[in-house]
Amino acid sequence: MNGYFPYPYRPCQEAMVAFIRNAAILGRNAVLESGTGTGKTAVSLAGALSAAAGTGRKVVYLTRTKSQHRQVAIECRAISANIPVVSAAVQGRGTSTCPLMREDRDLQDGSPEELSKLCSELKKGDGSAGGCPYYQAITAESVESCISFIRSSGPDPEEFRDYCQALGVCPYEAVKKVLPYADVVSASYAFMFDPRIRSRFLGWMGVSEKDIIIIVDEAHNLPSYLRESETAKFTRHALDLALSEARRSGDPDVGHGLHASDVINAVSDILEEAQKEYLRRENDLIPPGYMEETLMTVLGMNSLGLKEVLAGLYDAGSRIAEERKSRRKLPRSHLYTLARFLLYWMECTDGSHVFLVSGGDNPALEAYCLDPSDAATPLRICRSSISMSGTLAPLQDYCKDMGLWEADTEEFPSPFNPDNRRTLYVADVSTKYAELNSDDGTYERLRRYIIDIVNSVKVSTAVFFPSYAVMQRFLEDGLAEALGRTVFVEEPGIGNTELMDRVMAFRCTAGSVLICVCGGRISEGLDFPGKEMELAVLVGIPFGRPSARQDALISYCQARFADGWGMAVRAPAVRKMRQSIGRLIRSENDRGIAVILDRRACTLDGLEAELTTDPVSEVKAFFGVQE
Ligand code: SF4
């Protein structure tokens, strides 16, 4: 019995705690998939905390979104009934952690870097001279009060914020002061994987990497998160803003007889030329060195001169940002951002990135990261890391992507009755582009399947499409009206508040239909327990639209791991489908059935789908509806 696990064990949980604990004690990396109902948060905390006990080490629980921090606080409170555990949640500056931002709408647009700079400036002043009053209110007494509150109450982030609000202190600064006393710190991925934030984060906690056990929640998101965070992009719109800023600020001198506008115009011309020369589809590759060589030719200088000019642009942008900061404005400069982008682009020479040009309403130049393993370094240098998700298999793909070559891996099945869920597929349709657009009746058969399956039973149903484009085509063809039920749609670009309103309405309207996309915000991260969702129809396989980005990733995975298609396309598609199907079963008594409308389902490991020629009868039989 592990005293850190506060509940009676369900099947698998004791083995999971032991697996995690052993890895953490031995200082190894563990990678595990654990099915619904295995209680990943409680299990991982029990394993990691029992390994850290008495060593002075801390457990850092990383999540992609803030919502999971509350669950960590709840589990730590439950553990504290047996063994005292202090937990704290660190969140970036936002309206919930920075009271000044709540009061000043202009600040709400700021990037983390801009907010950090402005905050540093405001912390220098005293309350009467325009400094931050919430920072000035942080005294030895208020810090002591926060520490006692965290120790005695184990608050979740909202409760801690309310407590700070009552004291009149800044929650963001206050939580930094309590971190040295916390056994468990929950934070978003950026706190460990952004090197600029990581060093400060470790300093606040008062530990080195060697003294922390990292738990990565929903780890299937981490490779794509790291690829995106290591990708740099500059758009036509941002170039226009940079040019306006240059004009407003007297077109600063950037060295070598050039002005900021000369660099901006040169990059604008490169974007235009690259579109003409290389763009044949949504995005396309441009040759490595194209940007630097063209810039050197156009500006008439060698590589050293170019670096000096970019340093001049960087300095000019920094001065503009500083001047804004002194007026209590966001320290924003588009010249600074352009200089950072170009310098980053020129550093990407080790083959870890490819260079792209994209078209559309707002064309862009992009240095796209293929290899996220460098950014995953914290997993390899900390005391131990635990990566877990309900949809992480094949585990070796994750290990290869993250550079965890000798990790301990294990798959733990869901303890729930497997008969409560069925997954079927049909073999006479597909959303493969050529078939969907052929005149062999594929589109009509798909449409008929969706309508007949959804209308066969009056249970709450989700229809998952492989992309917004395919979803729009069916909607424009009257799918929602043909269903004859209340329908809610996850439209492209819908705001979070509006989306949550629709989800709530779907949950409250028994027997309604939710139309959404596989891999979207609904299919990952939202729970629909009990009768909130009992039937899922997956229209096609979400392989992703062919693009230069996808081709580059396939080539990279093929060259590096000899499995281009599998790692870059097949495995992500299967994970998205498993996440969608996973919405059906969230607790022990949930029952649900999923139907995949695509013959290619039989080629995908991990779906465990059974072939059917009559999905309507199968769905009716599952819910006990008479034919
Ligand atoms: Fe905002 Fe706190 Fe910084 Fe003040 S000290 S600006 S309240 S984050």
Question: DSSP assignment of 453-488, as one string?
Answer: HHHHS-S-EEEEESSHHHHHHHHHTTHHHHHTS-EE
Q: Is 390 helix (H, G, I), strand (E, B) or coil?
A: coil
CA of 181 to the centre of ligand 1 (A): 22
Average pLDDT over residues 551-570: 96
CA of 378 to the centre of ligand 1 (A): 28
What's the rounded Cα separation, in Å, for the pair 500 and 503?
5
Average pLDDT over residues 183-209: 96
**What pLDDT shows up at residue 527?**
86
Q: Starting at the edge strand that comes first in sequence, how are the strands of the sheet with 87-90 ordered?
A: 87-90, 184-188, 58-63, 212-216, 384-389, 29-34, 408-412
pTM above 0.85, yes or no: yes
> Is residue 135 in contact with ligand 1, taking CB distance under 6 Å?
yes
| Residue 59 and residue 413 in contact, taking contact as beta carbons nearer than 8 Å | no
**Cβ neighbours around 177 below 10 Å, total:** 18
**What pLDDT shows up at residue 140?**
95
Is the previous residue joined to 394 through a cis bond, with omega within 30 degrees of 0?
yes
Tell me the C-alpha to C-alpha distance, in Å, between residue 24 and each of 21, 46, 48, 59, 379.
Answer: 5, 11, 6, 10, 12
**What pLDDT shows up at residue 129?**
54
List pLDDT tens digits, range 499-553: 999 999 999 999 999 999 999 989 987 889 899 999 999 999 999 888 999 999 9
Q: Does the pLDDT at position 616 exceed 60?
A: yes
Q: Does the pLDDT at position 127 exceed 60?
A: no
> Is residue 123 in contact with ligand 1, taking CB distance under 6 Å?
yes
What's the rounded Cα separation, in Å, for the pair 325 and 114?
9
- The residue ranges of DSSP E strands in 107-211, in sequence order, are 184-188
**What pLDDT shows up at residue 21?**
97
Q: Does the pLDDT at position 1 exceed 70?
A: no
Q: What is the mean pLDDT of the chain?
A: 94
> Is residue 146 in contact with ligand 1, taking CB distance under 6 Å?
no
> Is residue 173 in contact with ligand 1, taking CB distance under 6 Å?
yes
Report the chain's terminal Cα–Cα distance, integer Å: 51
Give nearest CA residue, ligand 1 atom 5: 135
Q: Is 187 helix (H, G, I), strand (E, B) or coil?
A: strand
Q: Does the pLDDT at position 126 exceed 80?
A: no
Phi-psi region of 516 (alpha: psi -120 to 50; beta: other; left: phi over 0): beta
> Is residue 172 in contact with ligand 1, taking CB distance under 6 Å?
yes
What's the rounded Cα separation, in Å, for the pair 381 and 29?
10
What's the rounded Cα separation, in Å, for the pair 250 and 611?
69
Take residue 526 and report the two structure tokens written for it: 């939202």
**What pLDDT shows up at residue 626?**
76
What's the rounded Cα separation, in Å, for the pair 167 and 133?
12
CA of 121 to the centre of ligand 1 (A): 10
